[in-house]
Chain A
Amino acid sequence: MFPDTVKAILEGLNKGDFSSEEITTELLARANRHQPDFNAFITLDEEGALAAARQADEARRSGQAGQLLGLPFAHKDLFCTQGLRTTCASRMLESFVPPYESTVAARFRQAGAVCIGKTNMDEFAMGSSNENSHFGAVRNPWNTEYVPGGSSGGSAAAVAGGLVPAATGSDTGGSIRQPAAFCGISGLKPTYGRVSRLGMIAYASSLDQGGPMAHTVEDLAILLGVMAGLDEADSTSAEEAVPDYSAALEQPVKGMKIGLPREIFEAGKVGQTEPAIQAAIESLKSLGAEFVDISLPHIDLSVPAYYVIAPAECSTNLSRFDGVRYGHRCDNPKDLEDLYARSRAEGFGEEVKRRILVGTYALSAGYYDAYYRKAQQIRRLIKQDFAGAFQAVDAILSPVTPGSAFRIGEKTADPVQMYLEDIYTVPVSLAGLPSLAIPAGLLNGLPVGLQLTANYFRESTLMQLGHQFQLHTNWHQQRPSTSGRPD
């Protein structure tokens, strides 16, 4: 058996317990074996992965280092990978092979990591259940009748199911944190601007942020160190220096102040996750953390504001998919209108079309002030709420979602119910803050996640809290029974 955390695999590779080629071969086999179960991958790159693994082994033999040298992992299929199909889970890009590399993919490559394939996702990252994929729904490794969450559902399922020790994800309104919670793994949405968006296919530009997904916070610290940093080619990328995240892990929690938003805890919205969340609070208290009540008066407005801003941005971000230069083009267009209309009607799925329509409406003459401008005002108020709260606390704790994973098909009929999945994650996204989701318990045999949010660029604070929590709990060590099962 191979270990399944980033840290343990890198140690094993360094000690010579196994080669990158050996573990990569094994993980490719598992990924293939479990593809019918989880549908976690859209594309597996066996040839490329094995070549990269051999190259990494060769490099290690000749004494070369590399933070992730030989580590197999997977990319969410919205990170452009040069020469490797990148679909965004859309028919629109079904056969799109980028001639360039996203900054995130380039950084992993430079660090010596071995990409085994591209994970399934909600089409163009729009969704909270990973049911909106042209390549079919992803299934939760804990129970394949349940959704893995979305939109980074394929990445979450691939990690939880033991197909890779780590995967990249992207989070616009909760797309890393919610699937991490549903699949019982750890996931980090960094501060907006911390990780370059270049080559990450855009959903909502002012919210999109790439981040790592893995079993442990320790692993997230290693991965974020590789992903983070200024990219001159992304104007919204931050100049802020990248600290040594792993160094922060060992700092004690004693004396840290953690805020509990009254609007969540007093209003009784914690719901089904309450026992797990209360137990987590007790654990952190026992480590010396202090809990204080805080107020985020405008967070109730977050979901409506988010579902104006994100669709507004997506409605124009997706205009480039017009059938003219690349991507899906309808057969025999009779004129330009027909080319646009049919290429887009055929290329996009239902949820993508819904959001394009909502966003187009919100930006239209006569509606802009009532929707888009109003939503931006709410966004400012929410930022102010958080800024006020962080005067008094180091971090804010909440559930990631109102409950554990739901059944496939359970919420597809009601988009608004689906959007309410994002109630705890979107306020943080609107504010652009870093936020961590870690496993904190089980509910009816399915994982429940804990969300910790810190001030801008304080990912280290999250690493510290998360790691210390994981040192004293074992939720992150739980694995679904199907994982790694023998043939």
Chain B
Amino acid sequence: MQWEVVIGLEVHVQLATASKIFSGAATTFGAAPNTQACAVDLAMPGMLPVFNEEALRMAVRFGCAIDARINHESVFDRKNYFYPDLPKGYQISQLDHPTVAEGHLDIDLEDGTRKRIGITRAHLEEDAGKSLHEDFHGQSGIDLNRAGTPLLEIVSEPELRSAREAVSYLRKLHSIVTYLGISDGDMSQGSMRCDCNVSLRPLGQEEFGTRTEIKNVNSFRFVEKAIESEIERQMDILEDGGSITQETRLYDPDKDETRSMRSKEQANDYRYFPDPDLLPVHIDDAYIEDIRSQLPELPDAKKIRFAQEYGLSDYDAGVLAASREQADYFETVCETSKDPKLSANWVMGELAKWLNQGDLDISACPLPAEQLGKLILRIKDNTLSSKMAKQVFELLWQDGGDVDDIIEAKGLKQVTDSSAIEAIIDEVLANNASQVEQYRAADDAKRGKMIGFFVGQTMKASKGSANPQQVNAVLRKKLEG
């Protein structure tokens, strides 16, 4: 049977507020356990939550960016369950009146088309702490630093049809929240965590199949793999005539499989009800419009502008616009170099390669964009060959400094004096008389291949400093002239 995959994602985005959503404690990642948890976070008796309005502004920013309906009234509810890292015994969340209602975003499919994915809602809630099960001699440790960190839970419509689409959606979401500056988007630190709802149905059937939810997947790669392995598992069951159990599952990246965590019957009755410690939050149109007017240029708009303004291909424009930092970096390079195409090539080529090797984000790039722009300028004015430019790039990367200073210090200036080049070539030709004979006897097709030998010898003799275009031209003139 032909099966259709139905996927919906619930993404928890940690908002980059300086303090927690309902207390004044700091939200910095990586502090010593329980040093960033105040009396409110510890749920000490008599402590009360006070809503951090910065979280509201961030949620509304997100809502505006996905063209969503923003609710004028948001209500915080208590979601009740017992767990040691949930100090109050309930999580403050939003059930019936989330801050952000229906919106959407567009993803690019592999065939080059775009697909619009609906977003059902995005609501504010607080994060729980962490339970640590190792190093406590059979007991568990509780770290409440994360308890009370603001989260925006973004729920998509079940409109994703493959693991690839799910990843594209997640990447787009990542790109939007980082563009907006509402989250650092660092998945390795849990700033973005994803629950994947997966089901299958016979192609053409309208009714959804029974779904499972894979909890807390924390990288793009794992989202793709987890969904793929879950699709495979469900398909095996269905093909064998079995049925899917509605349940929560966990993805084990080591075994590349999902396994059951709890079934629907074991699910908590969360006993949601409006939190009487918090008043409903009211915002008016002016508040929303003020935030909307301050939105930065978003990835889709930037991509279109890059293609038009810089004459880049859609693909290049899309890659460069995917992250705000990369786009900003590219634009700074471009501003200095005045050559968009070459700038794009260097940012997406050599720079990306080095970042990759160093496992670095562009925000941690040791090479200032201005220097890369200057490097490109030196290629354009023939000071450097592209091979020499790569050497300078490496030095800049490793030791920093200024492009011109490095060129000066290392004597890397390209030789463009034609009499000097002619002298070197005369020597090369004199030393390789038999190859010269062969070249002259060959036809055009063979000559095209053989010229490389002479170029190579000449570049070697010049210690790489001769301008390759000039070398090529002079060689052809001397060999054929």
Instruction: State whether A100 touches B39 (Cβ < 8 A).
Output: yes
B90: A residues at CB distance < 8 A: 316, 319
Interface string of A44-80 (1 = CB under 8 A from B): 0000000000000000000000000000000000101
B142 / chain A contacts, CB cutoff of 8 Å:
324-325
- Kindly report which residue of chain B lies nearest to residue A200, judged by CB atoms: B46
Q: Which of A278-286, A357-365, A421-429 contacts B (4 or more CB under 8 A)?
A: A357-365
**Any A CB within 8 A of the CB of B269:** yes
The yes or no answer to A313 lying at the interface (CB within 8 A) is yes
Q: In A190-212, which residues have CB < 8 Å from any B CB?
A: 197-202, 204-206
Q: Residue on B with the closest CB to A79? A: B46
Min C-beta distance of B335 to chain A, whole Å: 46
Q: Tell me which of B47-55, B109-117, B149-157, B308-316 binds A.
A: B47-55
Taking each of A96, A319, A326, which has the highest tally of chain B beta carbons within 10 Å of its own beta carbon? A319
Contacts of B80 in A (CB 8 A): 316, 319, 363
Kindly list chain B residues whose C-beta atoms are within 8 Å of the C-beta of A419: none
Q: Is the CB of A320 within 8 A of B45?
A: yes
Task: Say yes or no: B269 contacts A364, CB within 8 Å.
Answer: yes
Contact B50 A232 (CB under 8 A): yes
Which chain A residues border B276 with CB–CB below 8 Å?
204-206, 236, 313
| B222 CB-CB contact with A under 8 Å | no
Chain A neighbourhood of B45, CB < 8 A: 80, 86, 88, 93, 96, 98, 201-202, 320-321, 326
CA distance A198 to B50 in the complex (A): 11
Answer yes or no: A37 CB below 8 A from chain B CBs: no
Indicate whether B158 reaches chain A with its CB closer than 8 angstroms: no
Does residue B172 face the partner (Cβ distance < 8 Å to A)? Answer: no
Instruction: Indicate if the CB atoms of B43 and A325 lie closer than 8 Å.
Output: yes
Candidates A233, A319, A372; contact of B88 at CB < 8 Å: A319
A236 lies within 8 A of B279 (CB): yes
Which residues from B are CB-within-8-Å of A315? Answer: 271
Query: Is A486's beta carbon under 8 Å from chain B?
Result: no
A99 at the interface (CB under 8 A from B): yes
Residues of B contacting A364 in the complex (Cβ-Cβ under 8 angstroms): 269, 271
With A205-B276, A235-B278, A236-B277 as given contacts, are A98 and B44 in contact (CB-CB < 8 Å)?
yes
The interface residues of chain B lying within 8 Å CB-to-CB of A368 are 271, 273
For the complex, what is the distance from the CA of A360 to the CA of B44, rounded to whole Å?
21
A312 beta carbon closer than 8 Å to chain B: yes
| Distance, CA A96 to CA B46, complexed state (A) | 12
Answer whether residue A267 sits at the interface, using C-beta atoms and an 8 A cutoff: no
Cβ-defined contact, B51 with A235, below 8 A: yes
| Residue in chain A with minimal CB distance to B45 | A201
A326 to B46, CA, bound (A): 13
- Chain B 260-280 interface 0/1 with A at a Cβ cutoff of 8 Å (1 = within): 000000000101110011110
B366 at the interface (CB under 8 A from A): no
Q: How many residues of A contact B (CB 8 A)?
A: 43
B39–A99 touching, CB < 8 Å? yes
Is B89 in the interface zone, CB < 8 Å from A?
A: yes
Q: Is B318 an interface residue when CB atoms closer than 8 A count as contact?
A: no
Q: Is the CB of A325 within 8 A of B87?
A: yes
A234 at the interface (CB under 8 A from B): yes
B270 (CB) vs chain A CBs: closest residue: A365
Instruction: State which residues 348-396 of A face B: CB under 8 Å.
Output: 360, 363-365, 368, 372
Known: A316-B90, A360-B271, A364-B269. A234 touches B48 (CB 8 A): yes
Tell me whether A322 is interfacial, beta carbon within 8 Å.
yes
Closest chain B residue to A340 by CB distance? B82
The interface residues of chain A lying within 8 Å CB-to-CB of B48 are 197-198, 233-235
- Please tell me if the beta carbons of A320 and B273 are within 8 angstroms of each other in the complex: no
Asked if A233 contacts B50 (CB within 8 A), the reply is: yes
Q: From residue B239, how far is it (CB to closest CB) to chain A in Å?
A: 35
CA A372 to CA B274, docked complex, whole Å: 11
Name the interface residues of A306-324: CB closer than 8 Å to any CB of B: 312-313, 315-316, 319-322, 324
Highest count of chain A CB atoms <10 Å: which of B48, B88, B142, B279: B48
Interface residues of B in 362-395 (CB under 8 A from A): none
The minimal Cβ–Cβ distance linking B65 to chain A, given in whole angstroms, is: 28
Supposing A236-B277, A336-B84 touch, asked if A100 and B44 sit within 8 A by C-beta, the answer is yes
What's the minimum C-beta distance from A373 to chain B, rounded to whole angstroms? 9
B279 contacts A102, C-beta separation under 8 Å: no
Q: Is the CB of A316 within 8 A of B39?
A: no
B347 in the interface (beta carbon within 8 A): no
B residues in contact with A234, CB < 8 Å:
48, 50
CB distance from B232 to the nearest CB of A (A): 34
- A198: which of B47, B78, B88, B273 is its contact (CB, 8 Å)? B47
A76 to B44, CA, bound (A): 18
Inter-chain CA distance A99–B46, complex, in Å, is 12
B101 contacts A by Cβ under 8 Å: no
**Can you sample 12 A-B contacts with CB below 8 Å?**
A80-B45, A98-B45, A99-B39, A197-B48, A236-B276, A236-B279, A316-B271, A319-B89, A322-B89, A326-B44, A340-B82, A364-B269
Q: Assuming A236-B277, A326-B45, what are 8 further A-B pairs, CB within 8 angstroms?
A: A86-B45, A98-B44, A99-B39, A198-B47, A232-B50, A316-B80, A363-B272, A365-B269
* Residue positions of B touching A, CB distance < 8 A: 39, 42-51, 78, 80, 82, 84, 87-90, 142, 269, 271-273, 276-279
